[in-house]
């Protein structure tokens, strides 16, 4: 049940009319405790939406008892009026749940510039409706996950059980603008483990750094990205921090993979791994450079194993390597060895959706992986008409 798999939480997702589709578009998740410890990471985009600005301040004390999310309007670049909308959303949530506004995180997703009087009225009405429908059953969990979707084709859910029986559950939304710094789109993770803010913060940052921060579908970073982790402590279990972090990484990795697989218009899910690097940073830099090459992404869309585009992208980085020592393997076929052609490219089968690219720098022992997608006609069409 994702965010309701852990004890101590209630949630709901309702139709507030923000979307023109008539689908659920406001979600509330509540932590009933006994603990209210929380942590969150946000987009590193300097142009941040009003909910991000609010939530950064709200989480500063390391606690959060509720999170309110809406889809259908980003409430970004909507001026002071937009910030007041976020503030009123937190205030109304707090009033209904007998909390302080600073106990409430707020998230929005949708079109930048959307957030007028109608948006405000529907958002606030949606909060009231969601609080009235709060539950802890599977239907409530499903409705909550549905209420945060925009161009997604389905909900993204994950959960794990840790040593002793504590649970971590999460839900995510995201199908475009997947190139974050610390977070990807909107993600809510809950746990009934009993951990303080500092431990949650360390675990969350460790997890997002190797999962959500490694999803780079289209090189475009959102203004609204938020990953929030709330701990109710309801299991009474205080897990080993390393073990908890490991479980949290698994939850985040599964959600990140689902984000990749639902990327707008994609026909190939591409896993790019760079090995033999002098540092993890070098490995990630090379993999990310390839993932952001439109020439490479277009080639994969056309089922063309053009490994020259991989090398060209790697060469734009500052990573340590000798250009004439690079190896490239695509879907198990080493098409380039020591900077020269090797196995025939016609042996590479690019018909399957899952695509792997392995780059060996022969410069060290480190590696790093980036998840991306191909560049398709459908992606261009969907984003050419996003605001119309």
Catalytic positions, please?
184
Phi-psi region for residue 300, left (φ > 0), alpha (ψ -120 to 50) or beta?
alpha
Which ranges of the chain would DSSP assign to H, the alpha helix? 50-58, 79-97, 117-132, 138-146, 197-210, 241-261, 280-291, 294-301, 307-314, 377-384
Provide the total of helices (H) and of strands (E) in the chain, helices listed first.
10, 15
Burial 190-205 (b: 16+ CB within 10 A, else e): bbbbbbebebbbebbe
User: Residues 249, 209: contact at Cβ < 8 Å?
Assistant: no
Calpha distance 214→277 (Å, rounded)? 17
Q: Which two tokens stand for residue 282?
A: 């070098």
CB contact set of 376 (below 8 Å; sequence gap of 6+): 265, 266, 267, 301
- Which one-letter DSSP state was computed for residue 12? E
């Amino acid at each position: 049940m994702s965010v309701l798999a852990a004890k101590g939480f209630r949630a709901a997702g309702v139709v507030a009319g923000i979307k023109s589709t008539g689908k659920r578009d406001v979600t509330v998740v509540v932590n009933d405790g006994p603990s209210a410890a929380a942590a969150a990471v946000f987009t590193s985009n300097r142009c941040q939406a009003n909910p991000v600005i609010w939530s950064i301040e709200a989480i500063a004390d390391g606690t959060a008892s509720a999170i309110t999310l809406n889809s259908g309007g980003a409430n970004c670049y909507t001026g002071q009026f937009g910030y007041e909308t976020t503030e009123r959303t937190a205030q109304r949530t707090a009033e209904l749940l007998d909390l302080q506004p600073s106990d409430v995180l707020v998230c929005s997703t949708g079109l930048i510039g959307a957030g007028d009087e109608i948006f405000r009225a529907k958002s606030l009405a949606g909060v009231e409706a969601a609080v009235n429908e709060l539950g802890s059953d599977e239907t409530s969990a499903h409705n909550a996950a549905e209420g945060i979707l925009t161009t997604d084709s389905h909900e993204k859910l994950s959960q794990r059980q840790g040593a002793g029986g504590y649970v971590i559950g999460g839900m995510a939304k995201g199908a475009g603008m997947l190139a974050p710094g610390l977070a990807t789109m909107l993600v809510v993770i809950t746990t009934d483990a009993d951990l303080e803010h500092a431990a949650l913060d360390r675990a969350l940052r460790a997890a997002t750094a190797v999962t959500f921060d490694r999803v780079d579908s289209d090189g475009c970073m959102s203004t609204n990205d938020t990953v929030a982790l709330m701990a109710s402590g309801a299991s009474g279990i205080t897990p080993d921090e390393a073990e908890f972090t490991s479980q949290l990484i698994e939850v985040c990795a599964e959600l990140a993979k689902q984000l990749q697989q639902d990327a707008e218009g994609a026909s190939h899910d591409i896993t790019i791994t760079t090995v033999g690097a002098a540092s993890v940073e070098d490995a990630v830099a090379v993999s990310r450079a390839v993932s952001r090459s439109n020439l490479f992404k277009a080639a994969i869309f056309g089922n063309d194993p053009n490994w020259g585009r991989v090398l060209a992208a790697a060469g734009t980085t500052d990573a340590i390597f000798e250009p004439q020592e690079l190896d490239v393997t695509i879907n198990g076929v080493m098409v380039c060895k020591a900077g020269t052609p090797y196995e025939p490219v016609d042996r590479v089968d690019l018909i399957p959706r899952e695509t792997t690219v392995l780059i060996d720098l022969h410069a060290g022992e480190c590696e790093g992986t980036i998840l991306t997608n191909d560049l398709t006609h459908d992606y261009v069409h969907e984003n050419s008409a996003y605001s119309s």
